[in-house]
């Protein structure tokens, strides 16, 4: 197995990993590789190709601040456009020569003697293995990358085609078929209206209804796009307006959940407009406070459920048989295709099983005992020189994750350039700093709608703590991460023991 020394190894080529690569490069930190198991850049926007996949954050905000796109076709961009945008940004930034695509990170462990992460990777397909010895690891593998499959009796016995929403099988023609979709979350509400148009019959299995607000669905006019492209400041002003509008909603989530009553009234009007049957209306009306689970955005979901070929089933699923689904009341509905839209592993991210820190424990082991914890959502005690993008309590329910990613990447780049300037080999947050940060975040959770709203959601971990979302405005997060703060870290000076084994640099190896 070959070994390559690099300064930085970035895991994942989605929005987070790509941002890290671009900003490392700009800062002069050019000796890095980005290892991505998928065959292309784009992360979730390359992988999620289910019909109807679109962003539910307005396009003007769902882009990097340093790479605005005047050509978005619609207020909410479709998946293909976002994926193409990430490819374009990567090409223009000139960083793709250090991307190792189609290669999975098998495991990574901290080698205290060499003061490096040893990261074992294997090429998807050939299995060819390479080890990277990296000073830092920047994990951008995404919070929503590993499908969560439901633990339903008999599901593996189903004889027809079955696939997860995030692994759509385009070879299966759904025309005229009997299709079942399990789950009614953000992915399902986008794919169900499209599948309903072609399926002979569509059974939608709902465990809990969501609050779904209407969306301002329209294409940008040629005039708007021309203004965005040619008149300085116009697109930035529109972006700032969208940002401010979304941030204005934060207090209702974090401090005044009762204000969500206005959202609930709006959703009920949306339901009344979309669904004629009173019984169906009752089934889709949630009983918990809006915002407790992610508020969804769609004009198509309720009309889709109202179609004659669609049935919303709210009886719990008892088991799956080779030919269909049996609900708790004993009814069996036969289906040809089973679509699993049950979300992702969020509070137990699989990457944590593959990272072994200073004390020989995996991050998954550590977090199994404490829940996910990281200083500023980014660095982790016991895991020197590891930077986690989209880490604990950094996710958002109200705005664009790209804002958070850029905030974290600034912090990380400041950290690694500080390390170089100060000739530090390692930085690791103190346990006290991490605990204080986590405790402060959890204190702020107490009044939030995610805690008080009366729902069970994937934001919460096994201890009932919300270790997923940032409980505040995004500009507060950015301010808190404005500069790397070594006073909260244990640092060590570069060892006198040279670890230079004469192995090739990242750029030499990737281009070889």
Question: What's the token pair of residue 493?
Answer: 């000076």
Q: Which residues contact 504 (CB under 8 A, 6 or more apart)?
A: 4, 5, 512
Q: Judged by CB under 6 A, which of 150, 154, 160, 486 binds ligand NAP?
A: 150
Cβ contact 97:82 at 8 Å = no
Cβ contact 299:215 at 8 Å = yes
Other CB atoms within 10 A of residue 100 CB: 21
Query: Which among 185-193, 238-246, 347-355, 369-377 is the span making contact with ligand NAP, rule CB under 6 A?
Result: 185-193
Query: Which among 18-26, 338-346, 355-363, 475-483 is the span making contact with ligand NAP, rule CB under 6 A?
Result: 338-346
Per-residue contact flags (x/-) with ligand NAP for residues 45 to 64, judged by CB under 6 A: ---------xxxx-------
Indicate the residue among 54 and 461 with the shorter CB distance to ligand NAP.
Answer: 54
Instruction: Report CA dihedral (417, 422, 423, 427) to the nearest 10 degrees.
Output: -70
Indicate the residue among 233 and 464 with the shorter CB distance to ligand NAP.
Answer: 464
Task: Say whether residue 389 binds ligand NAP (CB under 6 A).
Answer: no
Task: Say whether residue 458 binds ligand NAP (CB under 6 A).
Answer: yes
Shortest separation between residue 49's beta carbon and ligand NAP, angstroms: 12
Indicate the residue among 290 and 386 with the shorter CB distance to ligand NAP.
Answer: 290
Indicate the residue among 135 and 398 with the shorter CB distance to ligand NAP.
Answer: 398
Task: Say whether residue 342 binds ligand NAP (CB under 6 A).
Answer: yes
Q: Judged by CB under 6 A, which of 30, 87, 207, 345 binds ligand NAP?
A: 207
Shortest separation between residue 26's beta carbon and ligand NAP, angstroms: 27
Between CA 96 and CA 80 the distance in angstroms is 20
Backbone angles phi, psi at 212, to 5 degrees: -125, 115
Q: Judged by CB under 6 A, which of 63, 77, 130, 187 binds ligand NAP?
A: 187
Q: What is the 3-state secondary structure (H, E, C) of 135-197?
A: EEEEECCCCCCCECCCCCCCHHHCCCEEEEHHHCCCCCCCCCCEEEEECCCHHHHHHHHHHHH
Cβ contact 202:226 at 8 Å = no
CA 275 vs CA 204, 268, 295, 302, 398: distances in Å = 15, 10, 19, 6, 26
CA 148 vs CA 132, 183, 340, 362, 446: distances in Å = 29, 11, 9, 21, 27
Indicate the residue among 106 and 315 with the shorter CB distance to ligand NAP.
Answer: 315
Task: Say whether residue 144 binds ligand NAP (CB under 6 A).
Answer: yes
Task: Say whether residue 183 binds ligand NAP (CB under 6 A).
Answer: yes
Task: Say whether residue 16 binds ligand NAP (CB under 6 A).
Answer: no
Query: Which among 187-195, 301-309, 373-381, 484-492 is the span making contact with ligand NAP, rule CB under 6 A?
Result: 187-195
How many residues comprise the chain?
Answer: 512
Q: Judged by CB under 6 A, which of 59, 184, 393, 438 binds ligand NAP?
A: 184
Q: Judged by CB under 6 A, which of 90, 155, 338, 341 binds ligand NAP?
A: 341
Q: Judged by CB under 6 A, which of 52, 185, 257, 472 binds ligand NAP?
A: 185
Point out which residues bind ligand NAP (CB under 6 A). 54-57, 144, 150, 152, 165, 182-188, 190, 207-208, 294, 317, 341-344, 458
């Amino acid at each position: 197995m070959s070994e390559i020394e690099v300064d930085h190894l970035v895991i994942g080529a989605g929005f987070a990993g790509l941002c890290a690569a671009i900003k490392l490069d700009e800062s002069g930190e050019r000796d890095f590789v980005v290892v991505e198991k998928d065959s292309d850049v784009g992360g979730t926007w390359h992988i999620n190709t289910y019909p109807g996949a679109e962003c539910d954050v307005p396009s003007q905000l769902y882009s990097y601040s340093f790479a605005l796109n005047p050509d978005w076709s619609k207020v909410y961009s479709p998946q293909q456009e976002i994926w193409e945008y990430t490819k374009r940004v990567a090409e223009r930034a000139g960083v793709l020569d250090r991307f190792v695509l189609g290669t999975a990170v098998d495991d990574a462990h901290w080698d205290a003697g060499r003061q490096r992460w040893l990261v074992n990777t294997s090429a998807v397909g050939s299995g060819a293995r390479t080890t990277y010895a990296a000073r830092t690891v920047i994990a951008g593998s995404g919070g929503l990358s590993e499908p969560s499959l439901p633990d339903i009796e008999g599901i593996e016995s189903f004889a027809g085609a079955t696939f997860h929403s995030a692994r759509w099988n385009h070879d299966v023609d759904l025309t005229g078929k009997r299709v079942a979709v399990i789950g009614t979350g953000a992915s399902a509400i986008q794919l169900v209206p499209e599948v309903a148009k072609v399926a002979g019959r569509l059974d939608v299995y709902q465990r809990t209804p969501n609050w779904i607000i209407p969306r301002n669905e329209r294409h940008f006019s040629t005039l708007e796009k021309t203004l965005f492209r040619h008149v300085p400041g116009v697109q930035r002003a529109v972006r700032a307006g969208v940002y401010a509008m979304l941030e204005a909603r934060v207090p209702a989530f974090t401090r005044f959940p009762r204000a969500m009553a206005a959202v609930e009234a709006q959703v009920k009007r949306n339901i009344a407009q979309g669904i004629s049957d009173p019984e169906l209306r009752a089934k889709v009306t949630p009983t918990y406070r809006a915002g407790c689970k992610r508020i969804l955005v769609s004009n198509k979901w309720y009309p889709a459920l109202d179609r004659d070929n669609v049935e919303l089933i709210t009886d719990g699923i008892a088991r799956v048989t080779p030919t269909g689904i049996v609900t708790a009341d004993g009814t069996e509905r036969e289906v040809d295709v089973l679509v699993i839209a049950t979300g992702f592993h969020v509070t137990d991210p699989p990457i944590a099983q593959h990272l072994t820190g200073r004390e020989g424990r995996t991050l998954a082991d550590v977090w199994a005992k404490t829940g996910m914890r990281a200083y500023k959502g980014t660095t982790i005690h016991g895991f020197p020189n590891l930077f986690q993008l989209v880490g604990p309590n950094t996710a958002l329910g109200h705005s664009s994750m790209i804002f958070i990613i850029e905030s974290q990447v600034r912090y990380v780049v400041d950290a690694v350039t500080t390390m170089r300037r100060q000739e530090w080999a390692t930085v690791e947050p103190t346990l006290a700093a991490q605990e204080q940060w986590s405790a402060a975040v959890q204190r702020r959770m107490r009044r939030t709608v995610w805690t008080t709203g009366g729902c069970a959601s994937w934001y919460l971990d096994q201890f009932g703590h919300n270790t997923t979302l940032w409980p505040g405005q995004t500009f507060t997060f950015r301010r808190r991460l404005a500069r790397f703060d070594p006073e909260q870290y244990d640092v060590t000076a570069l060892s006198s023991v040279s670890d230079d084994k004469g192995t090739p640099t990242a750029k030499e190896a990737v281009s070889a």
